[in-house]
Chains A and B, each alone.
Chain A
Amino acid sequence: MEGLAIRASRPSIICSLPGLDGGSQRLPLSDGFLRLPTSSYAADKPKLVAKSASLHPISAVNVSAQASLTANFPALSETNVKEERINGDKNKPENIVWHESSICRCDRQQLLQQKGCVIWITGLSGSGKSTVACALSKALFERGKLTYTLDGDNVRHGLNRDLTFKAEDRTENIRRIGEVAKLFADVGVICIASLISPYRRDRDECRSLLPEGDFVEVFMDVPLSVCESRDPKGLYKLARAGKIKGFTGIDDPYEAPLNCEVVLKHTGDDDSCSPRQMAEHIISYLQNKGYLEG
């Protein structure tokens, strides 16, 4: 049975800077965030102002999903709880089943002024995935956008600590990360997943978990020779010496995406492919697709 939904027409957005929110009284909606105080966090880049809702108080709009509620149901409280009486005896607590309508994805998008999605950065070890993930999360933060990065560090030692590197565990590793990324996207977070994820089938499975458009695959198109010459973790050296088996790019394949949303191609020219520039390239894509607004 549909519950009644009381949904704000538009959240009021008030900067969280001290002195600007008029104190700590409860507001109809959101003393939430808009954009950052730039002094502490921005680099020497020009400050970008996130698009903001105009600052007017919201009025809760009672959106009734059911015009046919009978007179037996009590008037709704303003927090949208409907008391359904079963067996007609309102004094018996066990006869009351509370129905709540929950906060949905679009409510959170309104609050955050962004749309959740998954930025899946794939490529060889040393191709720059973590570097771009970092630059991207920073650039989005400067625009007042909430991101979260899932990578080997926060996942292999936590959620996926029971998994090894054998083939079926690698698939399960990617699957679980895909499911968690999907949850983050549902929250409204721009979730950046930064993993080699060498098999096309596994990446495509993750893509299929999400609504069309919400999976943004970013391919770090960097030649093996460049990755190997960087070798930031010394793994290529170990792999070449035979001390690591099944290392992607050396004795295990990397299957490049066939139809990804963004390709970041290594050109050898530092001026045109700094991590910040690559991040901005992804941000342009997100902007064009409407992910940076509510």
Chain B
Amino acid sequence: MSTNIFWQESPIGKTERQKLLNQKGCVVWITGLSGSGKSTLACSLSRELYTRGKLSYILDGDNLRHGLNKDLGFKAEDRVENIRRVGEVAKLFADAGLICIASLISPYRKDRDACREMMQGSSFIEVYMNMSLQLCEARDPKGLYKLARAGKIKGFTGIDDPYESPLNCEIELKEKEGECPSPVAMAEEVIAYLEDKGFLQNQ
């Protein structure tokens, strides 16, 4: 009887996918103030990885707030839920064998640490864009600091909401002698870390 047959198939798992992609799945979590260069670094990193034949994907406010997280606002509990969901998706991507680049302000240490905890292992790489508020505000790429200073946005990170810098991140990128390193230089630093820890191969 066909109904008594249980088909046995060993499933394709992370190991097989990593072998196929010749890389190890992980999450590169880029955190920092608005205007610190997170998206720029994410973009540069993704491109540098691509030239090495590595598959990566960027998760950021844009592709999430209008899709998966479109039901969330900016009140405190929604911000926590936003980060949680990004973390869960990043975890799925890492399981799929991808180098998932999450690029979000993610200002609260507790929320970032909860994502790290979720990854259960050494594949959470926290990158802190340690750029001064002065530099970020001078850039103000989206005009948000200006609005925040004028009181038109409340609870804006760095102005009237805290940014809690990481205590033990894997990579810290900062200005050197008043100069911000180029996106390519910063991407190379992240790549050197990934290479060193074995994420860019499958051995």
Contact = CB atoms under 8 A, between A and B. Distances in A.
Given A81-B184, A100-B44, A274-B7, A158 B17 contact: no
Interface residues of A, number: 67
Contacts of A93: 135, 175, 178-180
Interface string A113-129: 00000000000000000
B48 interface: yes
Nearest to A33: B20
Nearest to B140: A94
Contacts of B50: 29, 103, 107-108, 111
Majority secondary structure, A binding face: mixed
A159 B86 CA distance: 9
B20 A94 contact: no
A141 B46 contact: no
Contacts of A269: 2
A41 B16 contact: yes
A32 interface: yes
A146 B53 contact: no
B47 interface: yes
Interface in B45-97: 46-48, 50-59, 63, 67-68, 81, 85, 88-89, 91-93, 95-97
B4 to A, nearest CB: 9
Interface size class on chain B is 35 or more
B53 A30 contact: yes
A294 interface: no
Contacts of A24: 201
B53 A102 contact: no
Given A32-B21, A41-B16, A183 B7 contact: no
A10 B186 CA distance: 27
Contacts of B53: 11, 27, 29-32, 111
A79 B201 contact: no
Nearest to B67: A179
B149 to A, nearest CB: 16
A103 B139 contact: no
B180 A187 contact: no
B144 interface: no
A176 interface: yes
Contact of B5 (A77, A138, A147, A270): A270
Interface string B1-43: 0110111011110001101111000000000000001001001
Interface of A: 11, 16, 24, 26-33, 36, 41, 77, 79-81, 93-98, 100-103, 107-108, 111-112, 131, 134-135, 137-138, 141, 144, 146-150, 154, 158-159, 162, 176, 179-180, 182-184, 186-189, 209, 226, 229-230, 232, 268-270, 274-275
20 contacts: A29-B51, A30-B52, A33-B22, A79-B44, A79-B48, A94-B135, A100-B183, A102-B58, A111-B50, A137-B11, A138-B10, A146-B20, A146-B97, A154-B92, A180-B68, A183-B59, A183-B63, A183-B93, A184-B93, A187-B93
Given A108-B55, A108-B57, 15 more contacts: A28-B51, A32-B54, A36-B19, A41-B16, A77-B184, A94-B139, A100-B183, A103-B50, A112-B55, A134-B9, A150-B92, A176-B68, A180-B68, A226-B3, A270-B5
